[in-house]
């Protein structure tokens, strides 16, 4: 795919960016790439595979999707990367390593953003090498990308230097440390030394800036200012499903069309997971996105929050 600079990526968000929501976003205004929710390779290689693998469904996608994986055991990273490359797990343009999740349970288990700590660098290297091996061992090679933060306790550019030495195709940096969670504003200019390291160590790696970026227009300005190749938008999409449009029509979208969009989301969810593989309840949080900006929106949202099934929600929406 020929990418314009900057290119745009819909951020991976657990319990949000499944194939249904990725399709909703693509139909409003598509990103250049999307990323799945993070999926555990150890779970995929266990008896519980059938439950976990549902997160890697791509049946509704119309935009290239990258599979994001995390876990503990290098051999399992290799196995899953190979399955993604050879099409056993079909439909992906690449594989992404989650080295950025700050959740306590994950960090305690020395996974994801814990990898940024210097004492775990050997483990990180083993995971990267295993994933690369899997991703290049099938007849179809797929690119490896990495998503991380600025460091664990503090900004640590030796981490990004180490990652760039592994020559990933893309390196996305959520410009906060793990300790900062999402509690402080994103430090956009902190990406600049990483761009300089890229120029020196791995000129072919695309650098993607992530954190507090609300829409395409702002993304274009920030990419120019900080010299990055791509922009990743996460929570901005909760404010505007057209976040990837240059000129979003969202402010002028009528009450009827907003309700229609929520109905479409619920109906696609129901068609995609007919056996309840993914529950209805987490869907309700999307009401805040669609049902806003018109008189009576908060009352309607409240009614939706009290529904318990797809049928009830559709009835409330009329």
Residues that are catalytic: 101
Considering only 100, 134, 151, 219, the residue that binds ligand FMN (CB under 6 A) is 100
Cβ closest to ligand FMN, residue 231 vs residue 317 = 231
Give 39's contacts (C-beta < 8 A, 6+ positions apart): 52, 53, 55, 56, 67, 68, 69, 70
Min dist CB 56 to ligand FMN, Å, is: 12
Which residue(s) pair with 40 in the sheet? 70
**Residues in 267-296 at the binding interface with ligand FMN, rule: CB under 6 A:** none
In three-state secondary structure terms, 202 is: coil
Question: Among the candidate windows 162-170, 190-198, 234-242, 297-305, which touches ligand FMN by CB under 6 A?
Answer: 234-242
Q: Is residue 14 near ligand FMN by the rule CB under 6 A?
A: yes
Specify burial of residue 18 (Cβ count, 10 A radius: 0-12, 13-18, 19+): buried
Cis peptide leading into 136, omega within 30 of 0?
no
Min dist CB 286 to ligand FMN, Å, is: 12
Q: Is residue 101 near ligand FMN by the rule CB under 6 A?
A: yes
Q: Which letter does DSSP use for residue 237 in this model?
A: G
Give 204's contacts (C-beta < 8 A, 6+ positions apart): 167, 169
Q: Is residue 37 near ligand FMN by the rule CB under 6 A?
A: yes
Cβ closest to ligand FMN, residue 45 vs residue 213 = 213
Q: Is residue 244 near ligand FMN by the rule CB under 6 A?
A: no
CA–CA separation, 57 vs 114, rounded Å?
Answer: 28
Question: Among the candidate windows 152-160, 205-213, 262-270, 297-305, which touches ligand FMN by CB under 6 A?
Answer: 205-213
Considering only 236, 262, 290, 317, the residue that binds ligand FMN (CB under 6 A) is 236
In three-state secondary structure terms, 119 is: helix
Considering only 40, 98, 177, 307, the residue that binds ligand FMN (CB under 6 A) is 98
Q: Is residue 71 near ligand FMN by the rule CB under 6 A?
A: no
Give the residue ranges of DSSP H helices in the chain.
19-28, 41-44, 49-52, 74-86, 104-108, 121-137, 157-165, 192-201, 216-226, 255-272, 287-290, 297-305, 310-317
Considering only 132, 174, 198, 226, the residue that binds ligand FMN (CB under 6 A) is 174
Q: Is residue 94 near ligand FMN by the rule CB under 6 A?
A: no
Q: Is residue 25 near ligand FMN by the rule CB under 6 A?
A: no
CA–CA separation, 201 vs 205, rounded Å?
Answer: 9
Q: Is residue 68 near ligand FMN by the rule CB under 6 A?
A: yes
**Residues in 133-162 at the binding interface with ligand FMN, rule: CB under 6 A:** 147
Min dist CB 169 to ligand FMN, Å, is: 16
Considering only 38, 159, 244, 280, the residue that binds ligand FMN (CB under 6 A) is 38
Q: Which two tokens stand for residue 270?
A: 């129901």
CA–CA separation, 175 vs 232, rounded Å?
Answer: 11
Q: Is residue 211 near ligand FMN by the rule CB under 6 A?
A: yes
Question: Among the candidate windows 8-16, 47-55, 272-280, 301-309, which touches ligand FMN by CB under 6 A?
Answer: 8-16
Alpha carbon of residue 65 to chain centroid: 10
Binding region for ligand FMN (CB under 6 A): 11-14, 16, 37-38, 68, 98, 100-101, 147, 174, 210-213, 233-236
């Amino acid at each position: 795919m020929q990418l314009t600079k900057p290119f745009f990526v819909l951020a991976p968000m657990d319990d949000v960016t499944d194939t249904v929501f990725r399709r909703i976003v693509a139909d409003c205004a598509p990103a250049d790439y999307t990323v799945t929710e993070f999926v555990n390779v150890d779970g995929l290689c266990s008896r519980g595979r059938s439950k976990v693998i549902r997160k890697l469904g791509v049946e509704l996608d119309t935009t290239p999707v990258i599979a994001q994986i995390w876990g503990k055991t290098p051999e399992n990273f290799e196995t899953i990367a190979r399955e993604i490359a050879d099409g056993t797990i079909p439909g992906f343009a690449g594989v992404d390593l989650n080295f950025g999740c700050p959740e306590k349970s994950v960090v305690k288990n020395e996974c994801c953003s814990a990898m940024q700590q210097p004492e775990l660098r050997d483990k990180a290297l083993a995971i990267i090498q295993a994933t690369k091996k899997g991703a290049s061992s099938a007849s179809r090679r797929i690119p490896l990308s990495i998503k991380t933060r600025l460091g664990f306790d503090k900004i640590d550019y030796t981490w990004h230097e180490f990652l760039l030495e592994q020559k990933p195709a893309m390196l996305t940096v959520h410009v906060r440390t793990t300790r900062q969670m999402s509690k402080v504003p994103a430090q956009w200019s902190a990406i600049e030394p990483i761009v300089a390291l890229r120029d020196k160590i791995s000129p072919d790696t695309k650098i993607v800036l992530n954190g507090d970026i609300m829409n395409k227009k702002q993304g274009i300005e920030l990419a120019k200012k900080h010299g990055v190749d791509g922009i990743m938008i996460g929570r901005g999409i909760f404010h505007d499903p057209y976040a990837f449009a240059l000129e979003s029509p969202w402010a002028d979208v009528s009450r009827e069309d907003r309700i229609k969009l929520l109905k479409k989301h619920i109906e696609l969810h129901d068609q995609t997971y007919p056996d309840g593989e993914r529950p209805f309840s987490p869907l309700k949080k999307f009401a805040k996105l669609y049902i806003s900006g018109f008189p009576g929106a908060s009352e309607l949202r409240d009614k939706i929050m009290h529904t318990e099934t797809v049928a009830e929600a559709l009835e409330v929406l009329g």
